[in-house]
Amino acid sequence: MKLPIFIADAFTTKAFRGNPAAVCLLENKLDEDLHQKIAKEMNLSETAFIRKLHPNDNFTQKNVNSTLTFVTMSGELKARKEEDGIVLDLPLYPAHPQTAIGDTLVQDVCYSPDTKKLLVRLSDTYNRSFLESLTVNTENLLQVETTGKVKGLILTLKGEPGGQTQAFDFYSRYFAPWYGVAEDPVTGSAHTVLSSYWSEQLGKKDLHAFQCSNRGGELIISLRSDGRVDIKGGTALVLEGTLMA
């Protein structure tokens, strides 16, 4: 069996940055065991298997502002192509204040019960380089949180004026060792929580974010009046081939 497969880097326009994902196009449904084997072979944090639900569905649709709906295990995901990127239509999740923990590095702590993500805002006295160089021991996280209440840790920091570099409203990093991901390069789901938090903090509906992993990624965020959020990013196709399964 020969299957078309691609590797695309999301939330970037440069190869080998952003969030790498394998995308495998299917004509027919595969056994779950084969799904898992292919995902392990690709060795990426995300491997997507896309299959047409209707004969008229078009994998190669290129019209600007066209919308495709994907039926996933997490529900429907809508994505649309715009001139300068691809927009994901996602729910917006509020984060609720928690009792502060840790030392003076921590300015705010919030929790999203919908996503089970803990958001920790670092002090405004620190800058992007501090967040990028911060070492997080994810093994300790596994030992500290064993109740299942927290499934993802977001570290975030208020953005800085542009100056000679590009201005961002906020920075973040994301850790999910409870799912086997020590640190995720760029995380759309984390920004469904970050968008709600920073929109309230900054009084803005349109935000520009940067996730400070080693690969890094940019996200353009627009909060909508219907309680959802559009998260846009560029893509860079880095591999196209045929999988022999």
Which among 27, 32, 46, 83 is annotated as catalytic? Answer: 46
Indicate the class that CATH gives domain 2-87+234-244.
Answer: alpha beta
pLDDT tens digits along 91-138 = 999 999 876 555 547 899 999 999 999 999 999 999 999 999 999 999
Report whether pLDDT(220) > 80. yes
Residue 88 tokens, joined = 């994901």
Q: Which residue has the higher pLDDT, 166 or 82?
A: 82
Q: Which residue has the higher pLDDT, 74 or 111?
A: 111
Rounded to two decimals, what is the model's pTM? 0.88
Task: Enumerate the domain spans of the chain.
Answer: 2-87+234-244, 96-229
Q: Does domain 96-229 have CATH number 3.10.310.10?
A: yes
DSSP of 109-122: EEEETTTTEEEEEE
Mean pLDDT across the chain: 90
Highest mean pLDDT among 45-54, 66-75, 206-215: 206-215
Q: Which residue has the higher pLDDT, 52 or 132?
A: 132
Convert 27-59 to b/e letters by CB count within 10 Å (16 or more is b): eeebeeeeeeebbeebeebbbebeeeeeeeeee
Looking at residue 157, its pLDDT comes to: 96
Looking at residue 177, its pLDDT comes to: 95
Confidence of residue 165 (pLDDT cuts 50, 70, 90): low
Report whether pLDDT(201) > 70. yes
Q: Which residues pair with 96 in a beta bridge?
A: 111
Q: Is 46 a catalytic residue?
A: yes
Residue 126's nearest CA partner among 107, 152, 98, 99 is: 107
Mean pLDDT value of segment 22-27: 93
Query: Strand, coil or helix: what is 39?
Result: helix
> Quick one: DSSP state of residue 130?
H
Residue that is written with structure tokens 């993802």 in the block:
152
CATH topology identical between 2-87+234-244 and 96-229: yes
